[in-house]
Structure 1
Amino acid sequence: MSNTTEDSCAASVAKGNKTATVKAECSENRTEVDAFIGQLSLDPAEEYKTNNKRRGLALIFNQERFFWRLGMSDRHGTNADRYNLERRLKELNFDVNVYENYKQEEVWNKIYEASEADHSDADCFLLIFLSHGEQDHVFAYDGKISIPDITSMFKGDKCKSLVGKPKIFVLQACRGDKHDDPVTPACDDVDSELKTNEVVVDASAIHTLPAGADFIMCYSVAEGYYSHRETINGSWYIQDLCDVLHKFGSSLEFTELLTLVNRKVSMRSVGNCNDRSAIGKKQVPCFASMLTKKLYFRQKK
């Protein structure tokens, strides 16, 4: 506590000869707080407990088609993402449930069921949404789904069996209307291989959102930019996330794994696209971590 704060603390209640007593109490309180903080022992290597019976539930909402009134294009290639994710997550011992082209009410029902389920014997929880996006929403078949409303259902006061456990949300959707221009790197040690199928974008924008302790929000692209999806192979982000999960999912710490995914996606550029102005454009994913320990998905015995 600064001298200014100390003086104001004493002055706020000081009346005549009480000043010295109150000032001493403020000083004593400051010393006790500082001493308590100093006694805290933080182990930088501490990990989340992952020796529970189950790895945990993984929900995948795969939205390829949309009600015509929304004016949303079909998301060709998303089924490749769904297949790859389901395969890789099962390799990591997740209990995977896939929901295809669900309407708003159906999505909410499944999310509510998951929030009410007993996760006491699970390591974590994972939810993935493959869709178009807009501001702080993603789209179900017939309308918007609020991302803050989704995450709020898994906070400690709503889902007590997930308190202190990682809650992972992966959002494959556009987060703006800008293309990321290429910048020549200082070295040429970059994978120059380009995909040959057509590249399109997931329409509209999503904003980065805070969620709470032990949450991690994984986004296919930084805020304000297009997220690219190939019409045959699927989205860049999910392709590379699945590849890295396959190679390092059981050995690499999760935020380090996501950083590797960022690097891998950033090496791509748009090759074959109907929008000529998009040729050569780039993409960089991002994640917002509120995790408080290291997270590993080591193979269960």
Structure 2
Amino acid sequence: ELSKNSDKVYDMSKDKICLIINQENFYTELNEEYKDLLPENVWEKGKLNTRVGTSFDCDRLKNTFESRHFKVIVKKNKTHLEVISILEETVKSINEQNCSCFYVCVLSHGDEGVVYACNSCYVEVSAIIDIMCEDKLESIPKVLIVQSCQGPSLQIAIKSKDFLIFWSTVPGFSSIRNRQTGSWFIQSLCDQMDEAGQHEHFEEICTNIIRDVTNKKWQ
């Protein structure tokens, strides 16, 4: 369940889908058509850094969701156009299969309201939400998990009551990722989901994750 405060009960007897988009290696898009989607000063700074350690997060998420009987789809190092296409195709498939719920996990670099694709072009988080919240999926719970840094401010209007977004950090702060073990956020998320019962509310799990990550000390 998404929230203990909700009086809506979801049917979880059908297929459950988790899509993981893991951006680890980056290059700079040369097509002039997309230059406005690149990070500021990208030519002076060079390409976005390789996200060393993200494979640990990706593997852990896959194992955790599979243990909860999700069908897990993993997509690695995709361009901004491919990300949108993958999301649209997955939503279409979910609608045709009449699935129970839909999770999307995005692991990448990010900034204010955006995440970066492997070609360093950004994808607006609001665009991801719009695809996930299409009318055809209105009746099923949808969760977007974003492991990335954020800019100084962030306001995104959520148009669906069956939707929850969970960011790895608050606006203006960096999301900590360990090169050997993965990110604090994703590893804590998987720890809490592995320890939780099958019927524990996801919002309660989120609260435990926030407490755990807040109490961590860099080692």
Question: TM-score, normalization: structure 1?
Answer: 0.61
Bigger Cα displacement from structure 2, 44-53 vs 163-172: 44-53
**Contact (CA 8 Å) 1:134, 1:206: kept in 2 or not?**
no
**Contact (CA 8 Å) 1:137, 1:206: kept in 2 or not?**
no
CA distance in 2, matches of 1:247, 1:206: 33
Q: What's the secondary structure of 1:95's corresponding residue?
A: strand
CA distance in 2, matches of 1:118, 1:97: 12
The CA deviation at 1:255 is 0.2
The CA deviation at 1:51 is 3.4
Gap change, CA 1:124 and 1:256, over 3 Å in 2:
same
Q: Does 1:150 align with 2:125?
A: no
Q: Does 1:84 align with 2:31?
A: no
Tell me the equivalent position of 1:121: 98
Gap change, CA 1:92 and 1:270, over 3 Å in 2:
same
Task: Decide which of 71, 87, 98 is 1:111's aligned counterpart.
Answer: 87
Q: Does 1:49 align with 2:10?
A: yes
| One-letter amino acid matched to 1:231 | R
Gap change, CA 1:118 and 1:60, over 3 Å in 2:
closer
Tell me the equivalent position of 1:135: 112
Task: Decide which of 141, 144, 164 is 1:169's aligned counterpart.
Answer: 144
Higher RCO (C-alpha under 8 Å, 6+ residues apart): 2
Within 5 A, what are the aligned runs for 1:1-40? none
**Contact (CA 8 Å) 2:12, 2:101: kept in 1 or not?**
no
The CA deviation at 1:107 is 1.3
Larger radius of gyration: 1
Task: Decide which of 1, 19, 22 is 1:59's aligned counterpart.
Answer: 19
**Contact (CA 8 Å) 1:81, 1:239: kept in 2 or not?**
yes
Q: What's the secondary structure of 1:122's corresponding residue?
A: coil
CA distance in 2, matches of 1:270, 1:122: 40
CA distance in 2, matches of 1:267, 1:171: 20
Q: What is the CA RMSD across the aligned residues, in angstroms? A: 2.0
Number of residue-to-residue matches in the alignment = 197
Q: What's the secondary structure of 2:206's corresponding residue?
A: helix
**Contact (CA 8 Å) 2:113, 2:150: kept in 1 or not?**
no
CA distance in 2, matches of 1:206, 1:77: 27
Task: Decide which of 34, 51, 56 is 1:75's aligned counterpart.
Answer: 51
| One-letter amino acid matched to 1:92 | R
CA distance in 2, matches of 1:77, 1:249: 28
Task: Decide which of 139, 154, 160 is 1:207's aligned counterpart.
Answer: 154
Gaps in structure 1 of 5+ consecutive residues:
1-42, 177-204, 272-301
CA distance in 2, matches of 1:148, 1:130: 16
Q: Does 1:233 align with 2:209?
A: no
Within 5 A, what are the aligned runs for 1:276-291? none
CA distance in 2, matches of 1:240, 1:208: 25
| One-letter amino acid matched to 1:61 | I
**Contact (CA 8 Å) 1:208, 1:223: kept in 2 or not?**
no
Per-residue CA deviation, residues 209-259 of structure 1 (Å, 9 max, x unaligned), is 222221101000111111100001000000100001111051421100100
| Structure 1 stretches of at least 4 aligned residues deviating more than 4 Å after TM superposition | none
Gap change, CA 1:257 and 1:174, over 3 Å in 2:
same
The CA deviation at 1:125 is 0.7
Tell me the equivalent position of 1:222: 170
Question: TM-score, normalization: structure 2?
Answer: 0.83
The CA deviation at 1:113 is 0.3
CA distance in 1, matches of 2:68, 2:87: 22
Q: What's the secondary structure of 2:132's corresponding residue?
A: coil
